[in-house]
A and B are shown apart, each in its own frame.
Chain A
Amino acid sequence: MSPLPHLARLPVLILIVLVVSARTLLASPLISPNDAKTGSLMIKSETPGQYVEAPAVATDFDVTVTGPIIRSRLTQYFVNPANGWVEGLYVFPLPEDAAVDTLKMVVGDRIIIGDVKERIEAKRIYEKAKSEGKKAALVEQHRPNLFTNSVANIGPGETIVVQIEYQATVRQSNGKFSFRLPTVVAPRFETPAAPQPVVSVSSEAPAVVEDAQKLPDAKPWLDPDENDPVNPINITVHLKPGFKVAALNSPHHKVDAQERDGEHRITLSKMAFAEKDFELEWTAAAVDVPQAKLFRERAGNEDYVLVQVTPPAAAKATPAPAREAIFVIDNSGSMAGPSMVQAKASLIEALDRLQPGDTFNIVRFDDTLEVLFPTVVAADAGNISTAKRFVASLDAEGGTNMVPALAAALKMDNQSNPAAIRQVIFLTDGAISGEQQMFNLIAQRRGRSRIFMVGIGSAPNSFLMNRAAEMGRGTFTHIGSAEQVAERMAELTSKLTSPAVTGLAANFSARGVKATPDPLPDVYAGEPLYIYARMDEVKGKLTLSGLAGSDNWLKTLDLANAEPGSGIAKLWARREIANTEVNRTLGALNYKQADAMILKLALDHQLVSRLTSLIAIDKTPARPEGTPLRPVDVPLNLPAGWTFEKVFGSKTPVKEASAFKAIAVASKPRVHDAQRLLALPEGSTPADLLLIIGLLISLAGAASVTASRRMAS
């Protein structure tokens, strides 16, 4: 693609930037990186640690979905309209499981390609390059789903093209597959003060910036009625789901879809703007027998295989098997507030979904535990209403002692109804202490039970809950807000009532295969199971066996038939990183060992992680003073697929969806009748008293011994 059309558009781009800048004068609060809700280039302001956002002029998403794997490349154009050199901080949110592995950047006439390096080293290189006046970019994992990209030495009037690539997985829920692309919202812009060291936080309180004087050029465009489109987005999705698609839906955008050789190409019907996330959903056409698909990728000296097993559709008109459901609910102090409300609502929702013929019981725990019925009871109206009253009466207080509660739930299996599907549904905020015992317990005692973890509220330990569910051959459901209770619990219940293939086992004929997950979970209707494996060379067979209803199900796959796919090694590596974190948590590895393994995995597979960052230093020579640009530099890394006619031809008004609204909501005081309830805790320890009494008694004792001695002599 010729670079010239792009260059020709540059004045228009700058014009848009200035219009956008003018708009931001109306409302331009300062934010810090942690407040960012969407991708935006943040320019340092005069208040240390505070940034203002530069506009994202246009964003191009190029997404390839191969089976469960999403490879997403997003390219954004920014312009620095200021007269000075700036250092930008690019903050971008990504799906929680996204792995950033590629960074490319065109800053004006320079092309910067990132490498994954150890975090500290990357930071050092960046700071060095910055102080030397070189252009540099540094991508760091800031939060599991929030990354920052610092860009040093952006010249006056320069156009910056940022290209980020990440790997993520398709979401699956109740037979529905989907992914979401975070987009950019209304941009903010402010010319920066002199460049300052990159320190993401400051000791200064947020201050209001007087920005009116800072962008005098913008004033002519400051018209409230001016509503030219900003932040256009261009989306192309290449969808290769690995099965026949029954329905394809984009709930928020109108799209055009074409199919060719099993690949769907989805594009936006008309130019869209970054006012809402893009989401794509699709469903699998029903099949009678579990289907298996294989993908392969060679990376380094090894092959990586992804096996996808899609079970038959749910509704086969056979009555759902009876369930023996044991609900375990966490009412420890950490659940206090909204979490407890959601947990109770979730449990009541689940009770409502029990069918005649099912049996159930409830265990509640904090640092104590209580079992509602002496044994499992029939799900009749009387028992369910007793259970609901019990649940409604629960208060959140005390410590968290999860292990005895799970033990009680597992032990309660009296085998009275061997045909029933036994399910333990564990509702907690995920503040699990004693993970080791949890895993030991599940491994030793799970028996025929399936363990379903329901994470309530923010679940910092969500990975461990995931793993507990996996070991318990169940699933992990996350309920983050009261609104999600009904929907998510309905989804969970439909899983609970319709396992498609149970007792799955995988056997590779080749040696030295490292496969995960292990053991395999049950497969539920409409949701494929994924097995990731690493082997020296893709060969031999994989035999999967299990029970589909009451029939034996056996499937032998010839690994040589695996189709080429991309990103499989990275997904395997991300999983291994997660496994390593778990093993460290379990005490199987110490920090040093685990960090060494994670570092190696992240470096081998070029992933940004807790320990690694992407660093790009200027690989093309820095432009000497006064030397004219060589235009050939520019086009090399420009993304394909841009249609600027569309970008600049549209007059559709754009809503000012704002990150700051979200921030304002987030920082509102939580509504509590807390003044009435607030009581101050005990503010002293018995330490001094113990010391004094203890020493007095000792002294008395010593005196008595001395006295006796004297008498004796």
Chain B
Amino acid sequence: MTRLPRRIGPVLGLIAIVLGLTLAGNGVWIKAKAVLAQVLLERAFAETVKTGVPVKAWRWADTRPVARIRSNRLGDSAIVLAGGSGEAMAFGPGHLSGTPKPGQPGTAVIAAHRDTHFRFLKHLRRGDELSIERDDGMRFRFQVSGYSIVRWDTPGIDVTADGHNLVLATCWPFEAKTPGPLRYVVHAQMIE
């Protein structure tokens, strides 16, 4: 059995520890960012609703809060950002551009990461109520009608469908650690 020279072993070990902690730190940072950003976004959103002027959560923000989504049963809530860009979704669920606002006729689509803001999606059940408060102060309630698992590029979502629909999307399977082509999609309809 070959052995590492005495001095190199501990040095390699230390390097591995630093490297490992750096990687883990990055992972923690992603999660922390997702949580911290929501605190700032909550404030910005409250301000937006109050003043009617879009308020950025931080000065260099490239997106703005547009709604608050809440699962009444689970108690989970998050501030939704405009657009489904990677930058936006690092901080909160994104309301995909090109889809109507929640509460408008058609199908509004909100997407977020399965391991941060939309972790609660897997706990949603049919009949659960979701409430949305928009930045213009309007509030709407939606009821979960079902879910489906789809490919990201053929989700079969009709943005101009009849009624007032809401779709929440995240990655699937929930416990996977690497990106994949499948998406978990929750369908909900507005309660009249």
Q: Which residues of A contact B (CB under 8 A)?
A: 32-34, 49, 141-144, 146, 200-205, 207, 333-334, 336-337, 399-400, 431, 433-436, 460, 585, 587, 610, 667-672, 674-675, 677-709, 711-712
Contacts and interface: CB of A to CB of B under 8 A. Distances in A.
B127 interface: no
Contact of A702 (B17, B100, B177): B17
A570 to B, nearest CB: 21
Contacts of B27: 686-692, 694
Nearest to A711: B6
Given A694-B24, A694-B27, A701 B131 contact: no
B12 A678 contact: no
B177 A689 contact: yes
**7 nearest A-B pairs in the assembled complex, by CB-CB distance:** A701-B16, A698-B20, A694-B24, A694-B23, A683-B171, A697-B20, A690-B27
B97 A705 contact: no
Contacts of B13: 700-708
Contact of A690 (B24, B63, B96, B116): B24
A705 B28 contact: no
Contact of A334 (B34, B62, B155): B62
A455 to B, nearest CB: 14
B104 A667 contact: yes
B145 interface: no
Interface in B126-173: 131, 133, 136-141, 150, 152-153, 155, 157-160, 169-172
Nearest to A706: B13
Nearest to B30: A687
B25 A694 contact: yes
9 contacts: A143-B53, A201-B137, A680-B96, A681-B152, A684-B115, A694-B22, A694-B25, A701-B17, A704-B9
B10 A685 contact: no
A201 B155 CA distance: 34
A144 B90 contact: no
B1 interface: no
B169 A146 contact: no
Contacts of A460: 53-54, 64
Nearest to B170: A683
Given A669-B106, A694-B27, A708-B6, A674 B99 contact: yes
Bin chain B's interface residue count: 35 or more
B118 A683 contact: yes
Interface in B99-131: 99-100, 104-106, 109, 111-116, 118, 131
Give the one of A205, A680, A708 with max B CB within 10 A: A680
A374 B106 CA distance: 46
Contacts of A696: 20
B75 interface: no
A685 B90 CA distance: 8
Given A683-B111, A691-B28, A205 B16 contact: no
Nearest to A461: B54
A399 B90 CA distance: 14
Given A667-B104, A701-B17, A672 B155 contact: no
A672 B192 CA distance: 25
Nearest to A397: B85
Contacts of B141: 203-205
Contacts of B36: none
B89 interface: yes
Contacts of A32: 137-138
B23 A669 contact: no
Nearest to A701: B16
A374 B21 CA distance: 47
A512 to B, nearest CB: 33
A205 B140 contact: yes
A672 B107 CA distance: 12
Contacts of B180: 684
B167 to A, nearest CB: 9
Contacts of A692: 27, 177
A683 B139 contact: no
B16 A698 contact: yes
Contact of A433 (B4, B61, B84): B61
B115 to A, nearest CB: 6
B157 A678 contact: yes
A678 B109 contact: yes
Contacts of B104: 667, 669
A203 B30 contact: no
Contacts of A671: 160
Nearest to A674: B159
B105 A669 contact: yes
Contacts of B12: 701, 704
A201 B158 contact: no
Nearest to A145: B52
B74 interface: no
B115 A705 contact: no
B185 to A, nearest CB: 8
A537 B47 CA distance: 39
B9 A707 contact: yes
B16 A681 contact: no
Contacts of A705: 9-10, 13-14, 17
B187 to A, nearest CB: 13
Nearest to B155: A680
B40 interface: no
**Which residue, of A34, A336, A698, has the highest number of chain B Cβ atoms within 10 A?**
A698
Contacts of A435: 59
B62 A709 contact: no
Nearest to A682: B179
A699 B20 contact: yes
A330 to B, nearest CB: 12
Contacts of A141: 51-52
B134 to A, nearest CB: 9
Given A144-B52, A704-B12, A691 B24 contact: yes
Interface string B181-192: 001110000111
B178 interface: yes
Nearest to B19: A697
B190 A205 contact: yes
B24 A695 contact: yes
A142 B104 CA distance: 21
Given A685-B30, A692-B177, A697-B20, 18 more contacts: A32-B137, A143-B52, A144-B53, A202-B139, A203-B141, A334-B83, A399-B87, A680-B109, A689-B27, A689-B177, A690-B26, A690-B30, A693-B23, A698-B17, A700-B13, A701-B14, A708-B10, A709-B10
B160 to A, nearest CB: 5
Given A672-B160, A678-B98, A685-B115, A34 B179 contact: no
Contact of B16 (A667, A679, A697, A712): A697
Given A697-B23, A712-B6, A678 B139 contact: no
Contacts of B89: 681-682
Given A142-B52, A685-B30, A701-B15, A433 B62 contact: yes
A49 to B, nearest CB: 8
A674 B160 contact: yes
Nearest to B82: A334
